[in-house]
Structure 1
Amino acid sequence: MMRIIHSLPRTHKLLLLPVATMVTVLGAHKIVTTYEDVQRDKQALDTVRVPLDATASPGLPSLELNSPRVASAIDLALDARQQHVPISQLQAREIVDVDFVDRADQDAGFEAAMRSSSGLPPLMMKPDAASSSEEAASALLGHASLSETARQVAMAVGNMARSEQLATDATSYEDISEDELKLFDEGPVVLNEEIVAKAPYVPTWQTYKVAAGDTFTTIADHTLGLGYHDAMALLDLVPDEKVLTRWRAGDTFEYQLDKDGKLLSLRIMENARHGYLIEQKDGNYDIADIERAGEASQRLYAGTVSGSFTRSAQAAGLTRTEISEMSKVLSKKLDFRRDTRRGDSFRALVESDIIDGQRLDPRVLAVSYEGARMNLTLVRNPEDNKFYTPDGDSLDPAFNRYPFSGQYRISSSFNPGRRHPVTGRISPHKGTDFAMPIGTSVVAPAGGTVELVGNHPLAGRYIVIRHDNGYKTRYLHLSKALVSNGQRVNMGDTIAQSGNTGRSTGPHLHYEILVNDSQVDAMAVSLPENTRLQGTALASFQKEVSPALAALETGKPGAVVALANHEQDDDSDTDTDS
């Protein structure tokens, strides 16, 4: 019996459970249906016996879904659970003539439990035999002659009836005020929607990849939510508008939009190190520089001179920028035209900043040259950024002979007895003229303080610098001065651009050196000797450069010999040299 019930759908199980229980308890061969004629008050119960058809066989009715008998039984059970069905409306179905067994008569409480638990009308209950479903179930479970299966089914049906009774008796004791009810006038609160609605807007960085044919104005309109006027304002804001106009397909930049889809922030890089951050505040745009520090790494290069020094250095793996700095350092002691020979060897320790896989801003830390005519080892001092020998001797003179880089022709030398070519009178030339194009950089030959910047009808635009050793220098016929009165300058600082101002017959630089306020021949005067580190300065230098010297002497060429991590800070003040 239980196997048949388990094979049915869940709905059919619940509806047929009372019937199955009765069949299990009372027997599987015959079903007895007893009812009370409600039209005859106070009369004894009648038992109606209806014989089965001759072709019927003992057992349960068919449980097929298409059986009209099962369908009728389901309808009856549903109607009985919903409302009271008068006996006059009941129709005789398949009623079998059986004799009551003794134990069925003795346990009317069992029938009451079955009917009460299943929700069917109390057809088999006498008026004085009614009891709660819980009591009936207890009486049923206590009947010793019932099978274990019958007890389990009755217990389950009784629990279901008790749950329905508890649900029927449920109530609420909460007092809800009218003000609280008004909070839900617009419907129930959906927590997820409320959280999304009240969450503040948080802009996120997005990346735009430039496609072929893109222009800044079209991108500003379609992507950044800017009109033509705002786009032109941004172009005027950046120091170099090429950053926003000269793009190539594949270039990228990052941006943020506000909740209305308009530009909030724009981050664009001019190169791997330097870029700009543009932010919108109260309808106006502010711009700030971005400087990436990168990761410093040191690499050792080694090579042998074969032909020119430049090609030999390139073969060793050095870049053009690194070769230029290395040559500049060695040239202070080494003449590449006369002193280099085939077979000479060199080594260089170079530090570069690694940003996005690129080597930027190479710096020569140490260099050695072993040749037929000269052996030389130089190390950069971190304190003043100048090169010294391992013993602390400086390569830089205390006073440079020339106030510029490169070589330029002397167009007029220092000559106190020079005669004027027209009048024939003595017209001394108290300086040295160098023929050079307008705009050539002029640098300070030594450290000092700018004493005067001015203009003169004959001298044109000029600068006077008083140096620390008491010497004074003057620069005439300049096109532009890049320093101001009282400014402190160091050796090598750019102070002006050459020109052709004042009374001049052509572009040139007039350069003077004054000793005790008197002009002297700048090309012949004795200049201060090189400096040397001493005492604590020498000890500190040798301690600082010892790792670089060790790497230079024993390191493996081509390998990264040192790596230093720097915190990348977009707002740092690191200079860009791309």
Structure 2
Amino acid sequence: MMRILHSLPRTHKLLLLPVATMVTVLGAHKIVSTLEDSRYEHDTTQTDTLLVPLEPNISPGVPSLALDRDPVSEAIDVASRAVDATREHVPLSQLTASEVVDIDFIDAAQAGRDAVVSATDTPATSPLSPSDDSTRHIDDAARHIAVVLGTVASGMLASDKRLMADATSYEDISEDELELFDEGPIILEEEIAANEPFVPEWRTYTVQSGDTFTALAQDRFGMGYREVMALLDKMPEPELLTRWNVGKRFEYQLDAEGKLAALRIMSNPRDGYLVKRDADNTEISTIERAGEATQRMFAGTVSGSFARSAQATGLTSAEVAELSQVLEKKLDFRRDTRRGDRFEVLVESDIIDGQSLDPRILAVKYDGSRMDLTLLRNPQDNQFYTPDGVSLDPSFNRYPFDGQYRISSPFNPQRHHPVTGRISPHKGTDFAMPVGTAVKAPANGRVEKVGNHPAAGRYIVIRHDNGYKTRYLHLSKPLVSRGDRVTMGERIALSGNTGRSTGPHLHYEVLVNNNQVNAMKVALPEGGSLSGEALASFKHQTEPVLAALESGQTGTVVASTQPSDGEDGDEDDES
């Protein structure tokens, strides 16, 4: 039995130990008590053979376990029926003897071999018949326990006698190995927890008033002061951890020892950083979140300035500025806009955490009394074209800067010199602007000269691809060198007040065939148009956008404003 227990898993040992101990102790106690009682209460000369009625299909010998019921319960039931028959004074001779079990007690019982009843004896001659005054009596509980112990000890747990004959241990067991619980006490909850791998969880922290990362890292993240300083040195934007606003949120993970394993913090809804730490290294990578592209339609009517009318539809200041830059290439807001003109704008932006980011105008439709205009963004180059593929961008910009600056001295071949009073032609256009204003190339070209002149001050000359030439005088700082290739819109210099100048300004000249012309009136070359496969691709890609613009529906919010009664409009207001 000890070998059986030893071969079981450790958890089964724990469950069977109390049962085995109880059965062994109580069984031994009952059997000994019964023997002692029988020694003094009964005549020891009587036979020690007990006739137990069994099932008809059981053959004599050791009880078989090849039954539908479990062997222990079957053996106990057999013994119980014998006991019940004794209690009810039913003669054992009336019971069918299916099997004779020989119980040889101890020598003190003095059982003679000739007193043993064989299986062939008739029930009438049985010494244990109720008519025999010396019938042996065995306690019920002792009989049950004896049957159980006999069943286990005889190997009856096997369901087949052939298996019992071949049964053996997996390996020999030494005396030292007979210790059942040499591993110590078993706590199932602790063993299950110990076998489960540690998986860190993301937690969120919201900055409270008075929080600092240094204190938080030491108190909550298990970091030392040097570790905190080393992390701040590695951060591309350390102010994300040193300049906190109340309510800012970030996420973190702790390892099994309660130390910081990972930190995720965003500088804006789209961009942020992921910090991963272990015992040997700290790695920092960037996070770029992709938003869900959403289209919004805005519709309005001009009432007053175009900029105020556009902003009244719900467009942001940045979206109004982009819209104005798109339309001003074809539309003069001072002369071409009239009260009651209608416009529609299709804007696409990325939505992240409910915020609209990176808005971009996809299409514009303007229905005016003086001009009708429809413009579509080409996904291939992000430039605007008409639905027929005509480019909106000219190959040469009118102004070499962004924004609007006052003309302090126009192009005038008959100008009187402001100092001498004599006729001194002014062959350029002067724009009054602060020193340091960015000057940009009006078209693609190559830098031809960069120099310094007593009268012109610092200057630059650029020859453009279309044959035009431009000059820039009185600069404070050139940003290009001779021979550099420049593109339209590239910064080439900063305006200034060098040379003979009465104040900060930019002197700008346009030369055609090496002759100065009025830069504000000269005909500028038009931009190119799409053709062939480029045009076919443009029309295919912008077809849904044009359909949404024509219908005024995109499946999202459509904002619209109408001029209110009594609102004054001024067609000459600047945008």
Normalised by the size of structure 2, how large is the TM-score? Answer: 0.62
1:163 to 146, 151, 169: 151
CA distance in 2, matches of 1:112, 1:264: 75
2:442 to 439, 442, 445: 445
Report the CA distance between 1:400 and its aligned residue.
0.4
Alpha-carbon contact 2:548-2:554 (below 8 Å) kept: no
Root mean square deviation of aligned Cα:
5.7
Correspondence list, 1:27-42, <5 A: 35=38
Which whole-Å deviations, capped at 9, do the CAs of 1:78-134 have from their partners, x for residues lacking one?
Answer: xxxxxxxxxxxxxxxxxxxx9xx9955999x99984x949x99996965555699xx
> What residue identity is the alignment partner of 1:447?
N
- 1:534 paired with 2:531, answer yes
The change in CA–CA distance for 1:167 and 1:340 in structure 2 (over 3 A counts) is same
CA distance in 1, matches of 2:480, 2:40: 125
Q: Percent identity?
A: 62
1:221 to 208, 218, 221: 218
- 1:309 paired with 2:311, answer no
Aligned residue for 2:508?
Answer: 511
1:341 to 335, 338, 342: 338
- 1:491 paired with 2:498, answer no
> What residue identity is the alignment partner of 2:392?
L
Worse-superposed segment, 392-401 or 446-455: 446-455
CA distance in 1, matches of 2:536, 2:233: 53
Aligned residue for 1:376?
Answer: 373
Aligned residue for 1:71?
Answer: none
Report the CA distance between 1:467 and its aligned residue.
2.9
- 1:434 paired with 2:422, answer no
> What residue identity is the alignment partner of 1:443?
K
The change in CA–CA distance for 1:44 and 1:471 in structure 2 (over 3 A counts) is closer
**Structure 1 unaligned runs (5+)?**
1-10, 20-32, 46-97, 140-144, 147-151, 562-578
Report the CA distance between 1:190 and its aligned residue.
9.8
CA distance in 2, matches of 1:216, 1:44: 95
Aligned residue for 1:295?
Answer: 292
Which whole-Å deviations, capped at 9, do the CAs of 1:226-269 have from their partners, x for residues lacking one?
Answer: 45555455555555544333322221123345666555543321
CA distance in 2, matches of 1:534, 1:386: 15
Report the CA distance between 1:549 and its aligned residue.
0.8
Alpha-carbon contact 1:112-1:130 (below 8 Å) kept: no
Report the CA distance between 1:437 and its aligned residue.
2.3
Correspondence list, 1:190-269, <5 A: 205-228=202-225, 230-232=227-229, 234-235=231-232, 237-238=234-235, 240-257=237-254, 263-269=260-266
Report the CA distance between 1:157 and its aligned residue.
6.6
> What residue identity is the alignment partner of 1:533?
L
Aligned residue for 2:404?
Answer: 407
CA distance in 1, matches of 2:383, 2:364: 13
> What residue identity is the alignment partner of 2:241?
L
Q: Alignment length, in residue pairs?
A: 468
Normalised by the size of structure 1, how large is the TM-score? Answer: 0.62
Correspondence list, 1:8-19, <5 A: none
SS of the equivalent of 2:154 reads: helix
Aligned residue for 1:81?
Answer: none
1:548 to 516, 538, 545: 545
Which whole-Å deviations, capped at 9, do the CAs of 1:8-56 have from their partners, x for residues lacking one?
Answer: xxx99x979x99xxxxxxxxxxxxx994579x99x789xxxxxxxxxxx
Report the CA distance between 1:294 and its aligned residue.
1.0
> What residue identity is the alignment partner of 2:153?
Q
Aligned residue for 2:385?
Answer: 388
The change in CA–CA distance for 1:428 and 1:317 in structure 2 (over 3 A counts) is closer
Aligned residue for 2:364?
Answer: 367
Aligned residue for 2:352?
Answer: 355
- 1:318 paired with 2:319, answer no
Worse-superposed segment, 452-461 or 401-410: 452-461
CA distance in 2, matches of 1:191, 1:466: 86
SS of the equivalent of 1:509 reads: strand
